[in-house]
Structure 1
């Protein structure tokens, strides 16, 4: 795990950390808070020279700090649904079908935390999992968002339908999302960077929605699309219950 926010949020969340490594001379800003928190919780800290540090770092965005942590556990779909039940809220889940770019996955995890989604579902095969790069891009949100890995997305969609969820697929052939009721128990499906939703997954969706585009580009980045649609789901939920943020 690398980056100041990622390490800080791991400490805040109580995730098991074996050791924190700091590049020599990086004792400033949030790193000072990390050192104090680590010492108070008994996490070992080691200051090492630049050459040794860079030999350990896996990303360019390390910000002078990295932590050796236990592998991030994935959750079950039932864990995600239970989170919604415990909060007495309609489930709000993101399904990412064959998303391969760690930048997109990390960004979506960060956004999912911000908009209060109960979890994310990804496939075990032909898709990016939780890597150090994903954790770094998420700015620590990976510590709070439940991510489930499943063998078959289409089958999982069928199971979610049995639980009463409405499956919304993001697709250029869909209905303008301005005109769609996005309240209630929802799973929003975002397709892969190259293949989109895929034929079978598209067929499994209850409705397809599109983001209207007025420029020359015919599609949006997966993380951007997830943010636009996800935040409109949040907006509609809030306004339908007369709530304010």
Structure 2
């Protein structure tokens, strides 16, 4: 009987048995549901005559047979969204039911899961917050292996505390060396987490080491003129001083000090006005050269250059564009020859040497480019250009046997 009913349905809707498995389930479900009486309908008291009209127009006709009703259900299912079975409310445990419930929730009501995630993120932020380390008044934080190690080995700063990152493995040797240096100087050692070191040096590259110490200051030119320079003042020695006019970038100043120390410059003098001070960033950029190399300063650079000229020194300026210089001869750094004490004057990053300083120079040096330059990239970084000039000049001193 059931097989005959299936065949009738297939013929009615024009479907094949291969594609009707799930359709037939919907047909049975719908037909069974429609044939059930209403759950709370009162029974008819007087037979068929007193019950509700059985026909569509109340004429008392019998209802249509089951097969057409089943066919209507199948047709309705064909017009449904899925095309397989009539749409129905999913059970409460189904994912689509939960999705519908979330969509129907009030807009101003935040789900508990998101609130719980917010609490978790806030708790993690509190856990990541570094511990506050109070610094000694008037101190600064050196950072990096080379600056901290050289500051510990010298006696130019007052040292307060050494901070080392909690580490293991290959860094234990570096840590133990710092502990030995600090112990020899009587400096307390604190092992802290990386985030504490990041907070101490404000996110700079500390390499796992920070040192609290007093700042370094420029030395005055009066100290540089004292007769305790040893054989530097001997008449047979070629002296070279580097003068910096308004160098403002600490990275450039550190790189200049590193090159000057490496290439054998005897003194570095900076102008006090509009110049970068000796900060921990300068020490890190100099790879610690600032910790062992004296840096001098003057508040009257022009008077200083005039005085050195009167003493027999040659003052040589630098320029990136020879056509911008007037009344001063410009030569290539490769053609420069020197046989007496010389001062190399370097200008600021943006403007170069001021006009007043240029007029105090005997000659101007330029670096010849290796190709035709594109407009906008016709000059070098000030620290790179200074390194090239110093190497060109200091190599002559080496060839003379000094």
Could you tell me the TM-score, scaled by structure 2's length?
A: 0.57
Q: Distance in 1 between matches of 2:388 and 2:198?
A: 37
Higher Cα Rg, which structure: 2
Structure 2 residue aligned with 1:20: 162
The alpha-carbon deviation at position 59 of structure 1 amounts to: 5.0
Q: Distance in 1 between matches of 2:367 and 2:306?
A: 25
CA RMSD of aligned residues (A): 1.9
Higher relative contact order (CA 8 A, sep 6+): 1
Q: Secondary structure at the match of 2:359?
A: helix
**What pairs up with 1:69-88 in 2 under 5 angstroms?**
69-82=213-226, 85-88=229-232
1:146-178 C-alpha deviation (Å, 9 max, x unpaired)? 111211222221122233221111113221111
Q: Distance in 2 between matches of 1:56 and 1:73?
A: 21
**195, 209, 216: which one pairs with 1:51?**
195
Structure 1 residue aligned with 2:249: 101
Structure 1 residue aligned with 2:388: 228
Structure 1 residue aligned with 2:57: none
Deviates more, 1:180-189 or 1:94-103: 180-189
Deviates more, 1:106-115 or 1:18-27: 18-27
Q: Secondary structure at the match of 1:161?
A: helix
Deviates more, 1:224-233 or 1:74-83: 74-83
Deviates more, 1:11-20 or 1:188-197: 11-20
2:238–2:397 Cα contact (<8 Å) kept: no
Q: Distance in 1 between matches of 2:179 and 2:283?
A: 20
* Structure 1 gap ranges (5+): none
The alpha-carbon deviation at position 81 of structure 1 amounts to: 4.7
* Structure 2 gap ranges (5+): 1-141, 323-329
Q: Which protein is richer in strand relative to its size?
A: 1
Q: Distance in 2 between matches of 1:103 and 1:83?
A: 32
1:8-47 C-alpha deviation (Å, 9 max, x unpaired)? 1111223331111112227535333222111122111111
* Alignment partner of 1:211 is 2:367: yes
Q: Distance in 2 between matches of 1:164 and 1:23?
A: 53
Structure 2 residue aligned with 1:199: 355
Q: Distance in 2 between matches of 1:83 and 1:210?
A: 34
Structure 2 residue aligned with 1:187: 343
**What pairs up with 1:158-169 in 2 under 5 angstroms?**
158-169=306-317
Q: Distance in 2 between matches of 1:65 and 1:209?
A: 41
1:183–1:237 Cα contact (<8 Å) kept: no
Q: Distance in 2 between matches of 1:167 and 1:84?
A: 23
- Residues 84, 229 of structure 1: alpha-carbon distance in 2 compared, 3 angstrom cutoff: farther
How many pairs were matched up? 242
